[in-house]
Each structure stands twice: as structure tokens, then as C-alpha cells.
Amino acid sequence: MNNSTLSCPKCGSTSLYKNGHDKYGNQQFLCKLCHHSFKLSHSHKRKNFSFPYPKCTSCGKSMQIYKVRRSFVVFRCRACRTKDRVPFNLPEPVTLIPEKFKYFRFPIFFVLKAFVLYMKHNMSYRSLAHSLNIKVSHVTIYKWVIKLCTLFSVLFPTFTIENVFSVHADETVLVFKEQKYYVWLLVDHETNLILCWHVSKYRDMGQVKVLLEKFFGNSKPRNIELITDGLGAYESAVKLLFRNINHVVVPLGKNNQCESKFSLLKDFFRLKRGLKNTKNLAKYIQGFCVVKNLWKTHNGNINLILSHLHSFITTS
């Protein structure tokens, strides 16, 4: 059997150094004469799992496998140590509304995760496409978000909880393309959850009537305490239409349950640099309130939030 001598493929010299390994474990060589670097084998590293590995939602860098559990894998960012979980058995896409959701090419897990990250972490569509580590355009993610916001406006017209005795009501103004839009919120005093919401171009008693009718719904009116900052529209609506409400006025700027939500909402639109289509404002408000409530209900566990949304839209 003939023994072949290792030589440089560029100059043919047999005077070589071993020059370490590449990231796939292949031996590299360096020629002493022409300083040409080369390797003999080109084997690629095999991935432990077939699904795409996520990228860090904080810094956008690659994440490595940290722990492997029975039903999910824990990834950790090498730079900022942020952790993320990816389940083994990703749920298959389900047909929610045939003419709107039948063209999803990715598992519903990625669609819902993009929606939650967009609403909660104020990530742009392009950064979401990068962090999900799947080949998807930012326009596709935009369509995901709009379709899910539209769907949740039907599934979650209000957020219903039992034994509500005291609520906070307040409004704020958002300006897009030199037009004012008023966002109205009704927040529970005990749980700090957003019970109902409303978007309008006016700031009068009629909008308060719409907000409170959404809250009461088809149920019988019950005695509650309404805490506001003293806007005359609330007082007029309570005296004329809702005799079962005890109206309590707090000093301006002290209605913290609502004002904290408004500050987060304005930061959300400020980072998005406004809206190109103001017709989608109510849809964004809907998605923001739904994710905000679920984030507080599940103590920030994104996997529980995704499973909650997935089970709700598949059983509704």
C-alpha cells in the first residue's frame, strides 16, 4: 500500500504546520513557504434538533443549547445569558378562518410567539424575523399580527373576571397624522387587569356610555365603584344612565392603574414610530390589551401564554 505525502495544494511543498481546527472539528494546515491555509475534510456539524434554533430577543445573537428536558429545550444566549424555551412537539397550523389563515407556512407556535414578542417587547417586524431564525419576511409577520389582532377582537371583546367591585376609568390621546384619537380603558382595582377598552375620535359622554356598556355586557347592572380623574363626561354618564355606579373622583395624575398602562401604550407606538394606516389603531390596542392581561395572569411565562392562546383559538 503506497503512503501518500501530504503537500500544499497551491505550491506543492511538504513543509506544513498543523493550524488548529475549524468550528466543525476539521484539521487545518498551514504551508511554511506560501502561508496558504487549507484542510482535507469538509464534514459539517450535525444539529441535535431539526427545528430552527432561536436567536436572542434582547441582543439578536445566536443562542446555544443550555438544557434538554422531556418536552422542551432550553436555549441560552452566549452574550447576555437570556434564556428561551422551544418545545419538541410544535403544534401544527390550524385553520381558524379559512380565507385568512389557510396560507400559514409555519407552525402556529412561531406565529403566536411573533405576536406576543411584538406586543410585549416592542420589537420591530424586521428584528422579529431575525430573532425567530426562520426564513420569513417582515411583511409576513405584519400580516400575522394584523390577522391575530382582528381575530382576538372577536374572541376577546372584553376581559371577563368575577367579583369586580371597583374599577378605574381613564382616557388618553394619541396623535397620528395630525389627527387625535382617544383611547379609553377600564381597569380592575384588585387584579390590575384591563377589563375593556374603546377607541374614538371624541371625548364626550357617548364614549363613556360605550365603554361602560361593554363592561356590563348582557349581564344585569350591578353596584360598582368607578374611580376617575374628574372628567365631566364620566359624571354626566353616571347621573343620567348608570344609577348603580358610585362615582369617586381622585386628583388629576393619581389614577395610577390606568396611567401606567397609557405610558406603556405610548412607548409602544413611539418605538414603532407611529402608524402608517390609522385604521389598524383599534386592532393594535386590542392586541396590546390581550397580551398585557395574559402576561400578568401567567406571571410573564411566555410558554403558558402561547399555550393559552393556542388552546383558545382552536376551541373557539
Please count the other Cβ atoms lying within 10 Å of the Cβ belonging to residue 296: 13
Q: What is the DSSP letter of 280?
A: G
In a domain? residue 78: yes
In a domain? residue 64: yes
Q: Are residues 19 and 35 in the same domain?
A: yes
Tens of pLDDT, residues 272-290: 777 777 788 888 888 888 8
Q: Which domain holds residue 64?
A: 50-89
Of 30, 41, 68, 54, the residue nearest 128 (C-alpha): 54
Beta carbons of 197 and 286 less than 8 angstroms apart: yes
pLDDT, residue 31, reads 93
- Which amino acid, one-letter code, is at 189? H
Tens of pLDDT, residues 191-246: 888 888 888 888 888 888 888 888 887 566 678 888 888 888 888 888 878 878 88
Q: Is the pLDDT of residue 265 over 90?
A: no
Of 193, 225, 222, 198, the residue nearest 209 (C-alpha): 198
pLDDT, residue 241, reads 80
Of 268, 271, 269, 312, the residue nearest 294 (C-alpha): 312
In a domain? residue 257: no
Q: What is the DSSP letter of 4?
A: P
Cell numbers 374614538 correspond to what residue? 200
315: cell is: 376551541
In a domain? residue 158: no
d(CA 162, CA 115) in angstroms, rounded, equals 28
45 pLDDT band (50/70/90 cuts)? Answer: low
Q: Are residues 37 and 65 in the same domain?
A: no
In a domain? residue 11: yes
**Which of 112-121, 145-154, 218-227 shows the lowest per-residue confidence on average (mean pLDDT)?**
218-227
Q: Are residues 42 and 54 in the same domain?
A: no
30 pLDDT band (50/70/90 cuts)? Answer: very high
pLDDT, residue 47, reads 67
pLDDT, residue 78, reads 87
Proportion of the chain above pLDDT 70, given as a percent:
88
Q: C-alpha distances in angstroms, 229 versus 57, 64, 127, 233?
A: 38, 50, 39, 11
d(CA 226, CA 258) in angstroms, rounded, equals 12
> How many domains does the chain fold into?
2
Higher pLDDT, 246 or 26: 246
In a domain? residue 39: yes
| CATH number reported for the structural domain that contains residue 19 in this entry | 2.20.25
Q: Is the pLDDT of residue 93 over 60?
A: no
pLDDT, residue 96, reads 41
> What integer best gives the mean pLDDT of the chain?
80
Q: C-alpha distances in angstroms, 47 versus 23, 52, 77?
A: 13, 9, 17
Q: Is the pLDDT of residue 162 over 60?
A: yes
In a domain? residue 190: no
In a domain? residue 186: no
Q: Is the pLDDT of residue 125 over 90?
A: no
Higher pLDDT, 34 or 161: 34
